Chains A and B, each alone.
Chain A
Amino acid sequence: MSSNYTRRDFLKVTSCSTAIAGISCMTGTLGSLGAQTISGSTKFVKSYCEMCTSRCQIEGKVVDGKSVFIQGNQYSKGMGTSVCARGAAGHSQLYDPQRLVKPLIRVGKRGEGKWKEATYEEALNLIAKKMMNIKEEYGPQAVLFSAKTGEHFSHLSTFSKAFESPNLFSHHSHCPIAYKVAFKHTYGTGLKRDFSKSKYILNFGHNLFEGINVSSTKKLAKAAASEKTKLVVLEPRFSIVAAKADEWHSVKPGTDLAFVLSLMHVWLRDGKYDKEFVQRYTVGIEHLIESTKTTTPQWQEKITGIKADVAERVANELYKAAPNCIIDWGHKTTTGQSEYQRTRAILIANALMGNIEKEGGLFFKKKAKTCNKLAGIDIAPTITNPDKHFQTPKTLRVDRASQKGSDNAFIARNQGVLMDIPKAILNKDPYEVKGWFMIRTNPLITVADPKTMKEAMNKLDFIVVTDIYMSETALMADVVLPEATYLERDEGIMDKSSSKPTYMIRNKIVDPINNTLAGHEIFRTLAKKMGIDKDYKWDNILQYRVQQAKGNDKLLKELMSKGYVSYSIPTLYYREEKYIKDFVNKYPNAKKYLDEDGLMGSMLDNLKTPSGKIEIFSQQVEEEFKGYGVPRDDNNMDVTRGYPYILTSGKSAIHTNGHTHNVPYLHMLMSDNPVWINPQTAKKENLKNGDKIYLENDIGKEKGTVFITEGIRPDTFFVYMGFGRESSDLKRANGVGTNQSKLLPLIKGPVCSTMVTNVGVKITKA
């Protein structure tokens, strides 16, 4: 046992471990439940949402054991009482009669949808048996494990390591992998954005007004509405963030890289960049000067369609506003082959403006460890990972992630590349795969080319899907396990540090309907049944929480009652004199981290990059992928693949990816995703509003409905994602709308292995 808590804490905790999973029973100091009882039958419970992965902090009002109203958790200053439509609709999902609440075992053909109901005991026993059989006959690597990142992913990760399979997949490859990898290569870690104080924000499709993260959305909305901030948005369609911008430029899909390169060309040409910053904190500027020699504003105009003088002017305006400016990389934008270069270019552009650790710019997370070190005292408790001793199997993965020489060389072992799964299964390359265990994921909607994915799934012996609805992927399973929704489960502590050390926790708001289990309960039970749980140091979530908190019951108690705990420190930017003064005043110990100039620049001298500096040029990348070491035109900005129109997709404020389309409240608001078509294009193709059409390319053919709008480029189409469902148990969403994944090829963007979501199509009338 290698944890820091005392034997007394351990006894306190084990006395509770006999409690039934899902019910919080605490003795002594952990006695107060997370619920704050107001009257006999009304209580307010603090937790965090899971309707999307922003995971905003919420407060649920529970009346007579029923969740009736959800709003933001006021303890989180960034939230206040705000919550978005999906968060507010949490109980609509919770009480949806179409939700899965009983384990199902397949009786017909795979995908037929014939099931027999079973108990968790039966289902889990069957899973344990089948999985161990596969492990015996083919080895543990024959089972894939995948989930969207989040707490359940951590638990799945532990489970997969206990099973000894190296094939763990997160959703990164079809989502944020580009900026995750780009950040790692450039800054070593991720950076946060200070929208509130920024004077100029150049936004590359970062649609915070539809892909909502309440805290960030609120800040950006106020900045955009303020006269003090200029917001410039580059986006092919007139989205809501584009509508709030001071300037919107309709960039041709896939070509954002050209615009960024032209900005850098202007800056480097005119010497308009933070030379001191670049000198001290970066390596490789010479390479960038070389690669942007010819990427003039005129050059980019031919590629993006944005006028040369706009690029020239924006470059100058950014420089003028620097360092209180942000060039916002967004989430995933072009997701074409040039996504890595685009994101790297943007990250470096920020460095050129010298906005790192400046007010209104970018900053590193100020986690507890860093703050405690600087202050010399323990301002905030730290938490730990009770499962960190579980070893990642270093055996060969089916996607060869982290393998030198493979195209997934820079993909972490615990992220993987989902798009490589079908061919690995179909070609039995590098070895046979027989099983797939999934939770909180629906690849048949969210990953490219579902037809090929289905084909691959049909070759498997055993598929387990854990979900709350009978999704398209669940239909393909051998065993479907219902999971308790986020409102029905206790989970662990999450580090939410931003400008201050912060933690949040998920507290159960209502008891699970029909005793459905949480993901962590499922994995823990399975591990026990399979006899692979020797390394688990906890039996239930309560113990897990206690271990995370390192026995700190003050922290736990606060989290259980408030859901969100933030440790107030003076805001600190390492390169802002005013802020440093305030910090040092409060924590004189921090003086020893000051440079001669009175700033804390030394905090940026040893980053987690190979050179320790901000890498404008990355040697390691250049070695694996020639020509990708520094941002340059990679000749990959054409996403059309020979077709006349480009199909793009994006987030809506009403739905989340493939998740919420059957939720009653949300389905009521938006039940279809008609295809956005420009009037000129409609005229050319002889289309009227409401016409039925097909979008087609070499990957597939998908139905759609015409929506004529001026808000999209003539050469582009747009659909909100997550529609076009094909599961008859999703009674509301089934059969309606367009599933754009059917038109996406299973290709990857180089270096970061991102899924490609902008693709060429042709259109025909139905």
Chain B
Amino acid sequence: MSKKYRMIHDENLCIGCQACSVACRSENDVPDDIFRLQVRVETKGTFPNLKMDMRRQSCVMCEDAPCVEVCPTKASFQTNDGVVHIDESTCVSCKYCIVACPYNARFMNPVTKAVDKCTFCYSNRVKKGLDPACVTVCPTDALVFGDISDTSSEVYKKANENNLLYPKAHLGTKPKVAFVPNKRGVSYE
């Protein structure tokens, strides 16, 4: 029975501290000045009516992934549990997937020269029963990860208790990363 992985980013708990970004870098040997993950902190409004949104910028593991669809060599492929992987050996770095990704999640790795992105720490952590590095270190527990078909999982509970939004849902990519939108602050934009 394949797992239905979901990651939830609670923008109310998220403080934009980038611990997730550093942990990801550590765990996955991400090259300098390149990022698999960033959290963008956007201040909106006019003084003093302001709000601050925390937006996670990373691969959202689409169910109907454009990157998988366009890869000419199937180097970008999906396993049964819906996780999108990159096979470095068959990747020719044509960058079609980078161009096709509406979430700007992919990039060319200057060291391997293949295309790279967040992998949910699949082979190095999730397969060993651990959470992805970002989820593990988040200081405010703003990230939750797990199998949503497991009703005892944190991810299920969080999805139950909150209104989840999916980034660019209108594109029909069916992302696996959802967010709980920011409730605080005032902005009349």
The reply, when asked whether chain A contacts chain B directly with Cβ atoms under 8 A, is: yes
**Residue A248 at the B interface, CB < 8 A?**
yes
Closest to B125 in A: A69
**Residue A714 at the B interface, CB < 8 A?**
yes
Cβ contact within 8 Å between A653 and B47: no
**Residue B13 at the A interface, CB < 8 A?**
yes
Cβ contact within 8 Å between A209 and B17: yes
Chain A hits for B138, CB < 8 A: 82
Contact with B along A665-688 (1 / 0, CB 8 A): 110110000000010000000000
Closest to B27 in A: A69
- Checking B27, B46, B133, B184 against A710 with a beta-carbon cut-off of 8 angstroms, the contacting residue is B46
Most chain A CB neighbours (cut-off 10 Å) among B12, B15, B48, B142: B15
Interface locus among B18-26, B69-77, B98-106: B18-26
Chain A hits for B10, CB < 8 A: 225
With known contacts A83-B137, A217-B139, A240–B15 Cβ distance under 8 A: yes
Cβ contact within 8 Å between A83 and B139: yes
Cβ contact within 8 Å between B139 and A711: no
Cβ contact within 8 Å between B136 and A238: no
With known contacts A68-B26, A243-B184, A80–B18 Cβ distance under 8 A: no
Contact with B along A68-83 (1 / 0, CB 8 A): 1111100000001111
**Residue B172 at the A interface, CB < 8 A?**
no
Cβ contact within 8 Å between B141 and A218: yes
Most chain A CB neighbours (cut-off 10 Å) among B12, B32, B46, B137: B137
Chain A hits for B21, CB < 8 A: 85, 669
Chain B hits for A225, CB < 8 A: 10, 12-13
Cβ contact within 8 Å between B23 and A69: yes
Cβ contact within 8 Å between A221 and B136: no
With known contacts A69-B23, A69-B26, A668-B32, A653–B48 Cβ distance under 8 A: no
With known contacts A68-B26, A654-B18, A246–B140 Cβ distance under 8 A: no
Chain B hits for A85, CB < 8 A: 17-19, 21-22
**Residue A201 at the B interface, CB < 8 A?**
no
Chain B hits for A82, CB < 8 A: 19, 136-141
Cβ contact within 8 Å between B15 and A244: yes
Closest to A81 in B: B136
With known contacts A82-B138, A711-B47, A238–B18 Cβ distance under 8 A: no
Chain A hits for B137, CB < 8 A: 71-72, 81-84, 88
Q: How far is the CB of B125 from chain A (nearest CB, A)?
A: 10
Q: How far is the CB of A222 from chain B (nearest CB, A)?
A: 7
User: Bound state CA distance, A710 and B27, in angstroms?
Assistant: 36
Residues 28 to 44 of chain B near chain A (Cβ within 8 Å)? 32-33, 41, 43
Cβ contact within 8 Å between A246 and B47: no
Cβ contact within 8 Å between A245 and B184: yes
**Residue A250 at the B interface, CB < 8 A?**
yes
Cβ contact within 8 Å between A710 and B25: no
Q: How far is the CB of A689 from chain B (nearest CB, A)?
A: 14
Most chain A CB neighbours (cut-off 10 Å) among B23, B27, B52: B23
Q: How far is the CB of A162 from chain B (nearest CB, A)?
A: 40
Cβ contact within 8 Å between B139 and A214: yes
Chain A hits for B33, CB < 8 A: 668
**Residue B110 at the A interface, CB < 8 A?**
no
Chain B hits for A222, CB < 8 A: 13, 140-141
- Checking B47, B133, B142 against A714 with a beta-carbon cut-off of 8 angstroms, the contacting residue is B47
Contact with B along A700-723 (1 / 0, CB 8 A): 000000000111111000000000
Most chain A CB neighbours (cut-off 10 Å) among B47, B136, B139, B184: B139
Closest to B43 in A: A711
- Checking B22, B47, B51 against A665 with a beta-carbon cut-off of 8 angstroms, the contacting residue is B22
Residues of B within 8 A of A (CB): 10, 12-13, 15-19, 21-23, 25-27, 32-33, 41, 43, 45-48, 50-52, 133, 136-142, 184-185
With A248-B50, A250-B48 known, 19 other A-B pairs at CB within 8 A are A69-B23, A69-B26, A69-B27, A71-B136, A82-B136, A82-B138, A83-B139, A85-B21, A88-B22, A89-B26, A209-B17, A217-B139, A218-B140, A221-B139, A225-B10, A250-B47, A664-B32, A665-B25, A710-B47
Residues of A within 8 A of B (CB): 68-72, 80-85, 87-89, 91-92, 209-210, 212, 214, 217-218, 221-222, 224-225, 238, 240, 243-246, 248-250, 653-654, 664-666, 668-669, 678, 709-714
Query: Can you pick out 11 interface pairs between chain A and chain B where the beta carbons lie within 8 Å of each other?
Result: A68-B26, A81-B136, A83-B19, A88-B137, A91-B26, A212-B139, A221-B15, A221-B141, A221-B142, A225-B10, A238-B43
